[in-house]
A and B are shown apart, each in its own frame.
Chain A
């Protein structure tokens, strides 16, 4: 085990006069293709999207040119691994080439502290160059592309369909809104993992869900794929892992929070049961028609693109929810979906899903009672398995549309990120224990494809005790998986 001692500066403490702390923020975000304007004077053609849009044209060209040059230059050193980021005093740039010759660049301003000076003098600005992590923001950038691709397909396909004009239109439309939802200050290790939280469930209830999914797919044969979630956690995915990963991200950070906030606020009370035949049910559409009874209801569903590497499918995304159970039905976009289909789906799925949701809830409560109440771990940990993308965090509170809240200090989160970066560098299993300046111990373990990060707040604990504590955690929380000590 490697031991590092790391100092943590006391955050944002005011000594005498007020200091101002600035979190990292998005400076620029642009997408270009160097092949589109290779000649002098045509450089603007390379730029497919530029944020913020009100930047002067020449500056855009200059910035894009600089990135192009850096990428070209660094490529001579290692052709297989082009540069991923550029560190400067004021900001950090991230480069990503998701498709051949298409580059996405994100420029993030480093966090900084503004220290006021004596009257009249401008305040001194101190940039904290080492506070942000390449792995975290590199992942955020890749996620931007994945999310774009989920709803728009690849750049190449857009080019085939409508040339640069269509592509720029699509980029504009998507990123204009999407970039507003990026909250760079709260990005952390979980963004690197991009994991999926799975709902713990007993075998029998799981099989019932299987049975439900199979039956619905059989009677509504238009349905190509189904995904089943409960409490915003995944239970079943008919989609392949990578597509599910980004769809899950969309559902849990965008679609569900958007619908749960009015729910929590008690507005437009959607929890009135519907009646299908003689069965009461609580099913409703989260995408598509918000009220089936409305004669004006629209039957338009968002389109998503999956399996873009091979079969390249465009699908309608129907998200249907009853109580805490949400199901995504995906249907080929070439099918026309209208009122009749939606009513059929509502009548078939609504009652069954309502029943299933209460079954799951009941079973979940039983299991919780069996495993003992208040067995909420006193440990703060993050677990991730690269094999199935399963993630579990007791550090993060409920994610809302706006921010993800963590219960620990950002500096500790940064240590987690650092440990992860260490793990990425080596192939073998290892364990890192870090004593932070405050009373915290941070432990990172990597075993095969799994990573576990534990934060312990134990005064006066020594290394052996910390090690024992982590062993205990593994024995109670992870006793059913192979996790090397």
Chain B
């Protein structure tokens, strides 16, 4: 069963002092820091970050109840809100005075709903009457208003990743006005309306901030709206509606995630998957907006997998109750005290834990039967490589009937991603070679994600082991190898030599040499010197390999020396000489090598012919038929003289 839990809480949660009457806990989504504020800060503030193990601890004056507390980026300036009108600041930079300074909101009679840092020294106040964008001048201990905008605000949501703030406006609260912040500028994006379910009693805020979340999915910014349907009627259940928020242009409703149930939900986004937690059933749904359901062309999505609960989690009890024995106890999942933050954070304030939600891919493999869908799903995940490779191995080891078409589809999907990466890499290399870019944008090297499964991955983790298997028919093994090569070819990816070697090894092992011959005949195994040499080595078991090898060397047109060697080794001395002459290389060959070979044949006439050829070459190149000492042919000259007599030598031409 545990194999079925495809969601889990991370192993090393951030632990902090749990919330209590004397300890207030705050979470900053921008820096992912938990603030534990004891007695308004007088008895200490402890800040725990996401990965930095060393927490920050400090004290501050108790100037009233803290409503909100956040560091600017890199922990340079701390902002604390204690009153509805103003925000206090404390410098945390070493050389600047530590004392507090304060800023009141500019708009009269406005109430500050909250604030968000957009850089190390820029901050946005959100009031019920609009937004105010400030630059903090820590050395001057003051703030400078950069920009402001008046608008009635019910509540707001901030997406720190993109520095976008969504403001809820209008009476019903369902018209959302986004603002984007970047380097001292504030830009108003086009507002949009969330379509509410049928309203019975209007004129009251209906859209709650609890039902809105903002997150980036596949690099795009989405506003996620949890749409509860009234229980009456024949509504099938709640759904999550995704609005695609673009910098330019209107925000469009783009996806609908069907939950098919009702109740209390919370949203997370993990690895570009939308996770919807359902409290009453204590399970979570997983959606992948890139997964197309074939039955509709509208972007209506059903969960990828059946809903499952998060993997059971145990926490060590701390505190006086468990002194000594720290037996871990099961943690209550889907607790009503949980707070869920974007994109992937779950906080239990009462227990003092912050977890990251994680997706486990292994259980997905057994839950998602359709291999094509599974592969698409896995290829979009972050840590997918080993899982994909193990899926491939598994798929091949079973050797189910009719699995070849599936194998083909899987290979095609892998190679599509592989090809896209190769192309990006290639155009990057070309752009770099073309010199520095004329435009301002520097060339960005394409990122190699784990989804890029190349030939060496397949070879090392899947194919080389697979071909060793004794329990799979060799027919299937060869079919799979050919299918992989077909897929690579289809995507015009150059096949690496070691794959050919694997094919040849497998064919030779099963004595399927005629099959190998046919593959070579149709150039399925591309020409290369190593391949030609491999073929030469097969000659003793399969004589035609000799011809295949020579043909290949010939086609390469860069292997003339190898051809000569092969022919000489076969004692085809004349053939070798004729060949090298036909390609125009006969002025540079070693006379000694040919004469050696001719002597070995014990064919006197052949030796005579070869010797004569080189005498003529000497004559032509140097004006004398004699060999130079550097050619080391003395032995052969002596033999020639002995066999054919002094008069057989060509006479040097004397004028």
Contact = CB atoms under 8 A, between A and B. Distances in A.
Interface of A: 198, 201, 203-204, 206-208, 210-211, 214-215, 217-219, 221, 235-238, 240-241, 385, 387-388, 390, 429, 448-450, 480-482, 484-485
Contacts of B546: 448
A233 to B, nearest CB: 12
B482 A204 contact: no
B553 A484 contact: no
Contacts of B398: none
Contact of A210 (B486, B548, B582): B486
Given A218-B476, A221-B401, A206 B522 contact: yes
Contacts of A481: 551, 554
B598 interface: no
A470 to B, nearest CB: 13
B401 A485 contact: no
Nearest to B405: A215
A258 to B, nearest CB: 27
Chain B interface, >50% SS class:
helix
Contacts of B547: 385, 387, 448-450, 482
B489 A203 contact: yes
Given A203-B524, A221-B401, A387-B517, 4 more contacts: A203-B522, A214-B479, A215-B405, A390-B521
A206 B486 CA distance: 9
A221 B514 CA distance: 22
A236 B512 CA distance: 13
B456 interface: no
B87 to A, nearest CB: 67
B482 A207 contact: yes
A484 B524 contact: no
B579 interface: yes
Contacts of A215: 404-405, 479
A388 B544 contact: yes
Interface string B336-378: 0000000000000000000000000000000000000000000
14 contacts: A198-B521, A206-B524, A211-B408, A211-B482, A211-B486, A214-B478, A215-B404, A218-B401, A218-B402, A218-B476, A385-B547, A388-B521, A484-B575, A484-B578
Contact of A207 (B489, B514, B555, B578): B489
B483 interface: yes
B557 to A, nearest CB: 10
Interface string B466-498: 000000000110110011011001100000000
Contact of A214 (B483, B514, B550, B555): B483
Contacts of B572: 429
A387 B489 contact: no
B510 interface: no
A207 B547 CA distance: 23
Contacts of A203: 489, 522-524
B403 interface: yes
Contacts of B2: none
Contacts of B441: none
B481 to A, nearest CB: 10
Contact of B482 (A210, A238, A429): A210
Interface string B603-623: 000000000000000000000
A390 B518 CA distance: 11
A165 B553 CA distance: 56
Given A207-B482, A215-B405, A448-B550, A388 B517 contact: yes
Nearest to A208: B486
Interface of B: 401-405, 408, 475-476, 478-479, 482-483, 485-486, 489-490, 514-515, 517-518, 521-524, 543-544, 546-548, 550-551, 553-555, 563, 572, 575, 578-579, 582
B546 to A, nearest CB: 8
Contacts of A218: 401-404, 476, 479
Contacts of A387: 517, 543-544, 547-548
A117 B461 CA distance: 88
A378 B490 CA distance: 36
A480 B522 contact: no
B485 A207 contact: yes
Nearest to B552: A482
A220 to B, nearest CB: 10
B522 A429 contact: no
Given A207-B482, A449-B547, A482-B553, A219 B490 contact: no
Contacts of B489: 203-204, 207
A485 B578 contact: yes
A241 B515 CA distance: 9
A480 B550 contact: no
A203 B543 CA distance: 24
Contacts of A240: 514
Contacts of B553: 482
Nearest to A238: B515
A217 B547 CA distance: 31
B371 to A, nearest CB: 16
B629 to A, nearest CB: 33
B486 to A, nearest CB: 4
Contacts of A482: 547, 550-551, 553-554, 563
- From B408, B483, B551, B578, name the one whose CB has the most chain A CB atoms within 10 angstroms: B551
Contacts of A198: 521
Contacts of A241: 514
A396 to B, nearest CB: 21
Contacts of A204: 486, 489-490
A211 B572 CA distance: 41
A206 B575 CA distance: 34
A210 B404 CA distance: 12
Contacts of B403: 218
A107 B305 CA distance: 79
A221 B489 CA distance: 27
Given A214-B479, A217-B475, A218-B402, A480 B578 contact: no
Given A218-B404, A448-B547, A237 B514 contact: yes
A207 B522 CA distance: 9
A235 B519 CA distance: 10
A218 B563 CA distance: 41
B55 to A, nearest CB: 60
A226 to B, nearest CB: 11
In the complex, the 8 A-B pairs of residues with the closest C-beta atoms, listed nearest first: A214-B479, A207-B486, A482-B550, A387-B544, A482-B554, A206-B522, A481-B551, A485-B582
Nearest to A241: B514
Given A211-B408, A214-B479, A387-B544, A236 B518 contact: yes
A482 B582 CA distance: 12
Contacts of B575: 429, 484
A198 B522 CA distance: 10
Contacts of B485: 207
Nearest to B480: A214
Contacts of B476: 218
Contacts of A449: 544, 547
B554 A207 contact: no
A84 B524 CA distance: 42
A475 to B, nearest CB: 10
Contact of B555 (A210, A237, A480): A480
A211 B403 CA distance: 12
A240 B405 CA distance: 27
Contacts of B483: 211, 214
